[in-house]
Amino acid sequence: MTPEGYERLRNDLDELKSTGRSEVAKAIAEAREKGDLSENAEYDAAKEAQGLLELKINEMEKVLASARILDSSQLDISKVTVLSKVTIKNLKLKKEITYHLVSESEADLKAGKISVSSPIGKGLLGKAIGDIAHVQTPGGSMDFEILHISI
């Protein structure tokens, strides 16, 4: 995980623990004031929201606990690795695209960041410039030529 991605995830977790929990507690308190809890749909919805929030907090804590922060200056750019920026050419469409391979929690396709555990990410890992990556995607098999690797 990049230092920026780790920091963003930690900030999101802190936000959920403080603001998120207080908002859910407030919704539960308001629903309780409305009377009989056995027939109170608002109370049920608020309790369900609380459960989902706690589940999300728990998942984020697990990711942070097992996260490794990678120093890009220590990475080998002779092959595609996590944190590599790789320019590839789709051999069928003759189109070039650059992806930044990141951890699952940092993936953002609009920003050109793909997860190393995605089909394309897996197919590119370990490849060198000039190699052809045969990638099996849900849409079928694709071939990419590795044109450039950087950090």
When mean pLDDT is compared across 9-13, 40-44, 121-125, the lowest value belongs to 40-44
Residue range(s) occupied by CATH 1.10.287.180 in the chain: 3-66
The pLDDT, as a whole number, for residue 98 is 93
- pLDDT value at 6 more than 80: yes
Handedness of CA 122, 126, 129, 133 (dihedral sign): negative
d(CA 60, CA 106): 12
Instruction: Give the type of residue at 42.
Output: E
Compute, in degrees rounded to 10, the torsion defined by CA atoms 123, 126, 129, 131: -50
Contact call for residues 9 and 64 (beta carbons, < 8 A): yes
Instruction: Give the type of residue at 30.
Output: E
> What's the fold here for domain 3-66?
Helix Hairpins (1.10.287)
- pLDDT value at 101 more than 80: yes
Both structure tokens of 5? 């991605």
- pLDDT value at 40 more than 80: no
Residue range(s) occupied by CATH 3.10.50.30 in the chain: 72-150
Q: Quick one: CATH architecture of 72-150?
A: Roll (3.10)
- Chain centroid offset of residue 135 CA: 20
